[in-house]
Amino acid sequence: MWQAEHVQALLQQLGHSVKLLGMTTQGDQILDRSLSKVGGKGLFVKELEVALEEGRADLAVHSLKDVPMDMPEGFALACVMEREDPRDAWVSPQYARLEDLPAGAVVGTSSLRRTVLLRALRPDLRIEPLRGNLDTRLRKLDEGQYAGIVLAASGLKRLGLQARIRHIFETEQMLPAAGQGALGIETRSNRSDVQQALASLSHHTSWLAVAAERAVSRAMGGSCSMPLAAHATVQGEQLHLRAAWGDPEGDTALVTAQVFGVVGSLAQAEALGLEVAQALRAGGAR
């Protein structure tokens, strides 16, 4: 709802009349199992796409990391907004950093990406599942079920919960998920009127970065069941893309790859993503 209200306010400043259609998705409702076991990222967008298809809604605002890599026929990613902090945050009432945890401490996350990265950093910890909205996750932490949890810094900041952040992981330590921290706006592909209204909200540099990241994920068959990280930064025309893949069974070391390239278009950014995916597979990623 924060995301929808944010876009609503920006569009109203441009002179548009905007109403919110509040919805609850399957991804919000199924909280007792990991996403990889109940249908993946698409559970957060399907009901919204039905509303678009039926004409009840003109656009849908998503956390881009929850949007499947391939859009269904008839739908389009019309806008990627300027990215918030893409990094992961460490949240704990007792321990200032992951390094401070005693051996065997319990850390909460249901992200396979975070699980393999945490294991690479601290193989002596217990990584346990954690689902639910931010309030639910923080409540479970405060009840003592976990010594600490890992969350997206962007979500905490957007909801005014920065004070809960004890430490933000640098990307060299915890590489983010593809699209993390970015908002994407989806429309029907034939709604050029809506796409035109959204044009001024789009942020070209952010879109180039997430296009490269999502291309890695798409080429690897990325979903919630893929323990994959991908993060790009853009300086001028130069894009730096890094990715990591880990074995969820913990049998092999992290596979990493990176590439630098000049990009001016989404196609060029996606080409770099394919290059990194090929390097990951060559290194043993599955």
Q: Is residue 51 packed enough to be buried (19+ CB in 10 Å), middle (13-18) or exposed (0-12)?
A: middle
Instruction: Check: CB of residue 100 under 8 Å from CB of residue 121.
Output: no
* Residue-wise burial string across 252-266, b where 16 or more C-beta atoms lie within 10 A, e elsewhere: eebbbbebebebeeb
Instruction: Check: CB of residue 44 under 8 Å from CB of residue 38.
Output: no
For the chain, how big is the Rg over CA atoms in Å? 19
Instruction: Check: CB of residue 137 under 8 Å from CB of residue 108.
Output: yes
The CA distance from 178 to 69, in Å, is 10
Q: Is 135 a catalytic residue?
A: no
Q: Is residue 59 packed enough to be buried (19+ CB in 10 Å), middle (13-18) or exposed (0-12)?
A: buried
DSSP state of 99: G
Instruction: Check: CB of residue 188 under 8 Å from CB of residue 52.
Output: yes
Alpha helices (runs of H) in the chain, residue ranges in sequence order:
2-13, 26-29, 35-38, 46-53, 112-121, 134-142, 153-158, 192-198, 204-219, 266-282
Catalytic residue among 32, 66, 70, 135: 66
Q: Which three-class secondary structure state does DSSP give residue 216?
A: helix
How far apart are the two ends of the chain, measured CA to CA in Å?
36
Active-site residue list: 66
